[in-house]
Structure 1
Amino acid sequence: MLAWFNQHFPQLGYLAVGLAMLAEGLTLPCPALIVLLMAGAACAVGKLSFWPAVIIAAASYALGSLVPYYI
């Protein structure tokens, strides 16, 4: 399973980061830290770009946290 994840994470990395941080912002029980660690590792080896990953993570968390704020 780890090999599959390592193979497909660069293709789905930005989407995974965005969805995990959105779920974390919605206060759903989601292991967003694990996804962020994998994104950091993918950035370190050059499979993902750093700044797009940071911007997607921050924007997704901000959008997700607006929902509980307004409820």
Structure 2
Amino acid sequence: MGEKAIESGGGPWGPDLTIAHQKFKEYGLSIFLETIPFPTMGPLYHSRPLTEEERGHVLAFLTSTHTAVGDEIV
């Protein structure tokens, strides 16, 4: 996920994930991280899916960025 952008830093090519937690909530992000439903990411992750621990780390990071940005998100 290094190509993704986030307000606290990140890659310049992928979508901005700063509000991902606010938009999809924990449940939606959990499903996304389990299934990786996008064709461009599938070949990378379907043969070697994220472990439960890795999904937890990504989810915690996205949750913390939502908290850090706070109510300023529109």
TM-score category (smaller protein): 0.3 to 0.5
User: Which is richer in helix?
Assistant: 1
TM-score, normalised by the number of residues in structure 1: 0.38
TM-score, normalised by the number of residues in structure 2: 0.37
Q: More relative contact order in 1 or in 2 (CA 8 Å, sep 6+)?
A: 1
